[in-house]
Structure 1
Amino acid sequence: MPLPDAVAAARRAGFDAVECHFPYDTPPADLAAAGLPVISLNTPPGDRAAGEFGLAAVPGRIAAARAGIAQAVDYAVAAGAGAVHVMAGYSQGAAGAEDTFRANLAHACDLAAPQGLTVLIEPLNPHDAPGYHLASLDHALSIIAAVGRANLRLMYDCYHIARIHGDVGAAFARTRDVVGHVQFAGVPDRGEPDTGTVDYRTLLPALRWHGPFGAEYRPRGGDTLAGLGWLGAFRALA
């Protein structure tokens, strides 16, 4: 669906808000008018055909990374979004990647703060994203401490954390103070959250997280609406 139509469908299905990965082909005013609050969006991924998936930790791409950060902040403000996820990219082990990432994050936070925006970083598991620069909670925590900006927070994706660290609840307990947003999906296939090895009906209330939960998954049957049978039961957990 065109993005505004997808947002309207999410509203009819019973969601309270949306997240958008890369909404840039849609005018931000159209997204803002689509009927649901926008929680967050991602910085542009770079050249997907060349294998890029984020630029902020890629040495040699600083100018492009910062242009993307500025674009994301401007779009978030115009669309009424609350946060920007700054994507690190595939640069694990590259010389200068960590310094590049930290400098770009500091820049992003300083650009976002006057607009009241949160900057998010997200560890991606190496099964799905081999070579992604940010691949563990400990790494994310060290970056947040080193950058030292109050608006830099952790995107806590339960699916990725389960694949990286196993115990989602224990990992959340030790990172709660820096969490800015929570996402979930079935483990290990990233399908609907009502089946798999993580019992979200028990886990989500136990987290005692009072912000939104983002359902970031891939419908097993390929039809989003047909797979929403879980939504009513999960809403009743709130």
Structure 2
Amino acid sequence: MKFSANLGFLWSELPLTDAIRAAKVAGFDAVECHWPYDTPAEDVALALTDTGLNMLGLNTIRGDLSKGENGLNALPNRMTEARVAIDQAIEYAHITGTANIHAMAGFAQGVEAHDVFCENLTYACAKAAPHGIGIVIEPLNHYDAPGYFLSTTSQAQQIITEVGAPNLKLMFDCYHVQLMEGDITNRLTKLQSIIGHIQFASVPDRSTPDRGELSYDHIFAHLKSLGYAAPLGAEYKPNGPTPPTLDWLTKYKS
């Protein structure tokens, strides 16, 4: 298997460019991040070139952090801000060669939020497509993100079908899906045609994948049997310095 280091959690104490280099030294095949915008895109592009790593994903901004916002794209009456954030993410992804943008939905409910989310995703997909950039949406669990608009894979599948853009895919985070729905093996099989990226962490503590209620021995073997060959995103909280938590990487990496 191949693996991507999510630098939102791993080596988070380092500047992003140094974290990219640390991921390379550790043996990761790619990297991804959350909100890289404080680091000039040109600096990130240089670090990626130096290491030979690809950036697989970044997120649109959360919004007003003082109000606890966690995305703008499903928020009624915030469409202008949401599209500025989409444009920002596309520009950054284009400079850095980032493959996917996670269009964060935010805290909202109801039909209007659904309609706004679909409109903003249609806009994002159209703007990203000429650059070869994908848009992904990720269901978040209600323990960590109560009130988040997108919470299940079935809801995400409905939205992807409704928008109908070929570059709109599902971010399948095993941690979130297990907490909300379970049945990881069958869901991976059923949804593989719309999956744009897969992330993982232990459940329920979101730590390394060698503990908790999910068997990643089984999950990774199942993905291999499906022919899934893209790097899997290690989006776990290391609970201290990252290097001592990487025994799992030696075990699973091929």
Q: TM-score, normalised by structure 2?
A: 0.90
Paired position in structure 2 for 1:16: 29
Q: Distance in 1 between matches of 2:109 and 2:58?
A: 23
Aligned counterpart in structure 1 of residue 127 of structure 2, from 86, 111, 114 = 111
Secondary structure of 2:83's match? helix
1:83-232 correspondence to structure 2 within 5 Å: 83-93=100-110, 96-207=112-223, 208=226, 209-220=228-239, 222-232=240-250
Paired position in structure 1 for 2:39: 26
Q: Contact 1:43–1:86 (CA<8 Å) still a contact in 2?
A: yes
Paired position in structure 2 for 1:55: 72
Q: Distance in 1 between matches of 2:189 and 2:31?
A: 25
Structure 1 moving runs of 4+ over 4 Å: none
Q: Structure 2: which 5+ residue stretches go unaligned?
A: 1-13
Q: Contact 1:32–1:38 (CA<8 Å) still a contact in 2?
A: no
Q: Distance in 1 between matches of 2:235 and 2:213?
A: 16
Secondary structure of 1:33's match? helix
How many matched pairs?
Answer: 234
Q: Contact 1:165–1:171 (CA<8 Å) still a contact in 2?
A: no
Q: Distance in 1 between matches of 2:185 and 2:217?
A: 13
Give the drift of 1:149: 0.4
Secondary structure of 1:56's match? coil
Q: Distance in 1 between matches of 2:126 and 2:106?
A: 21
Q: Distance in 2 between matches of 1:167 and 1:145?
A: 22
CA RMSD of aligned residues (A): 0.9
Q: Distance in 1 between matches of 2:247 and 2:220?
A: 17
User: How many percent of aligned residue pairs carry the same amino acid?
Assistant: 48
Q: Structure 1: which 5+ residue stretches go unaligned?
A: none
Paired position in structure 2 for 1:78: 95
Q: Match of 1:41, as an amino acid?
A: L
